[in-house]
Structure 1
Amino acid sequence: MRRLAFVFALFATSAAQAATCGNDSGGFSRWKQEFAQEAAAAGVGQRGLQALAAANYSTSTISADRNQRGVRYALNDFIRIRLGSLDSFASQARQRKNANAAFFASLEQAYGVPSGILLAIWGMETGFGRTMGNTPVVDSITTVAYDCRRASFFTPHALAALVMVDRGMLTNGQRGAAHGELGHTQFLPGNALQYGVDANGDGRVDLYSTADALASTANFLRQKGWQPGQPYQEGTRNFRVLNEWNAATVYQQAIALSAVRIDG
């Protein structure tokens, strides 16, 4: 966590020296050379720098970013499209809860986050780990850090991804979603580095491990202000914490409604 704070602070204080962004693949190689200097100054080691040097401009990432429609769904439509139905989704989640009841109980004891909330997020993000993305994380996160549209937002996450490579939390070819989201619950690299938990005790944080990913998700919510034992339906303090996970109100509503059925 100290390393991530340093990475973000370094970027904030050195914006004038930031690597040159671009709007197509033409300047990506030059940007990588410039960004390597920033990364080295931020403490990124040899493995992270090698991953940066090997990164490819991700045309699929740019296509996904350029073609976002910002479609707004009514809650019932969102549930139908994303979950099928609340009852069928909750049934799938309860099967996973019942298969590992002690683990979910331990997370609630440690972080105060109900298993229904964690299972709802897991299921909504990746279908309980079935679809974690097909784009190499280092490629996608460096591509959006290079792209001029939102370079300031994604650059700290690109630095964090390289630190993760250094620490063995991420491999060069590990795949995730289009904007660098990774693992079972789709953390951005900066959040993975800051809130990641080694729940299975193997000595590293691996968001592609179910145990680490769900513990990290619980830790994220607790650190963002989740109140153990308190309600989480719309209008409550805990419901507002869900905004830290996803800013779409309909997404937050679906999580809360699903969790009631899962834990009920």
Structure 2
Amino acid sequence: MRRSILAIALSLIATPTLAAQCGNDASGFDRWKQQFAQEAAAAGIQQPGLNALANARYATRTIAADRNQTGVKYALNDFIRIRLGSLDGFAAQANRRLNQNRAFFDALEQRYGVPAGVLLAIHGMETGFGNNMGSENVVSSIVTMAYDCRRSDFFTPHALAALQMVDRGMLSPGQAGAAHGELGHTQFLPGNALRYGQDGNGDGRVDFYNMADAMASTANFLRQKGWQPGQPFQQGTANFRVLNEWNAATVYQQAIALSAERIG
């Protein structure tokens, strides 16, 4: 038995891993999909996910958005004006939603320790409280980013996660999301969706296009990243540093914290 295990191990070491070859334009995308399908199957992706991969298209708008990123360079006041309108107006919208679902948000805070204001601030900033969850095909976008040589290593695990979500019935092959494959009410990347997804409405499944599931998943993400229940979250605190796990832009974190303290 030991000899056979050793022989298998040596054969695996001796056999080079044939990774799918990335590219910088659409010309090699179909060939890459065929290669990547072998990797996906070896990783356990089943036929629904493999079919979604086969039907994925090279996402030209995703590539354009990725290559034209300039980062968040606004001063805080300008960021708030452009993204939120005003803190008070944004908080008023969030408070209306909180008053409609207060028992739900209270239950989330009891379970995960994350206040409703923080969750609603994220919800509002990411998708306008679910009104704009994106118009790009999630599978095509994330698969295109995995193919593109610029950030293939980062996006390949998320591409596999998206295909696994299709297998599990968590994601429709035709579902729309943001330009880089972010999905649902709070714009999770697929790998994070699989890792932190929670069933917030008790129907036995996790659907990021359901508000309750998305809010529970967002609360779980923050708690798992180190959120401290009952502690402050303004700049300089440990909880403010957790917001960096959600978005690395300081003005984004500041806007979450400032708006969240007005919600509740």
Which SS does the other structure have where 2:82 is aligned?
helix
Q: How many residues align?
A: 250
Is 1:44–2:45 an aligned residue pair? Answer: yes
Q: In the aligned structure 2, how far is the partner of 1:85 from the partner of 1:234?
A: 19
- State the partner residue of 1:91: 92
**Closer/same/farther in 2, CA of residues 102 and 71 from structure 1, 3 Å limit:** closer
Listed as ranges, the matches of 1:223-234 within 5 Å are 223-234=224-235
Listed as ranges, the matches of 1:155-194 within 5 Å are 155-194=156-195
Is 1:62–2:63 an aligned residue pair? Answer: yes
Q: In the aligned structure 2, how far is the partner of 1:15 from the partner of 1:187?
A: 33
- State the partner residue of 1:198: 199
Deviations 1:163-215 (A, max 9, x none): 00000000010000000000000000000000000111222110000000000
Q: In the aligned structure 2, how far is the partner of 1:235 from the partner of 1:101?
A: 29
Query: What is the CA RMSD across the aligned residues, in angstroms?
Result: 1.1
Q: In the aligned structure 1, how far is the partner of 2:53 from the partner of 2:74?
A: 38
- State the partner residue of 1:112: 113
Q: Which amino acid aligns with 1:238?
A: N
Q: In the aligned structure 1, how far is the partner of 2:162 from the partner of 2:202?
A: 22
Q: In the aligned structure 2, how far is the partner of 1:206 from the partner of 1:135?
A: 18
Q: Which amino acid aligns with 2:34?
A: Q
Q: Which amino acid aligns with 1:37?
A: Q
Q: State percent identity of aligned pairs.
A: 76
Is 1:19–2:23 an aligned residue pair? Answer: no
Structure 2 contact 49–167 (Cα < 8 Å) conserved: yes
Deviations 1:211-231 (A, max 9, x none): 000000000000000000000
Structure possessing the higher radius of gyration over alpha carbons:
2
Stretch deviating more after TM superposition (239-248 or 193-202): 193-202
Q: Which amino acid aligns with 1:113?
A: V
Q: Which amino acid aligns with 1:104?
A: F
CA offset at residue 71 of structure 1?
4.1
TM-score (norm. length: structure 2): 0.93
Structure 2 contact 138–176 (Cα < 8 Å) conserved: yes
Structure 2 contact 113–230 (Cα < 8 Å) conserved: yes
CA offset at residue 63 of structure 1?
0.8
Which SS does the other structure have where 1:130 is aligned?
coil
TM-score (norm. length: structure 1): 0.93
Structure 2 contact 72–249 (Cα < 8 Å) conserved: no
**Closer/same/farther in 2, CA of residues 15 and 191 from structure 1, 3 Å limit:** farther
Structure 1, unpaired ranges of 5+: 1-13
Is 1:208–2:226 an aligned residue pair? Answer: no
CA offset at residue 67 of structure 1?
1.0
- State the partner residue of 2:80: 79
Following TM superposition, where does structure 1 have runs of at least 4 consecutive aligned residues deviating by more than 3 angstroms? none
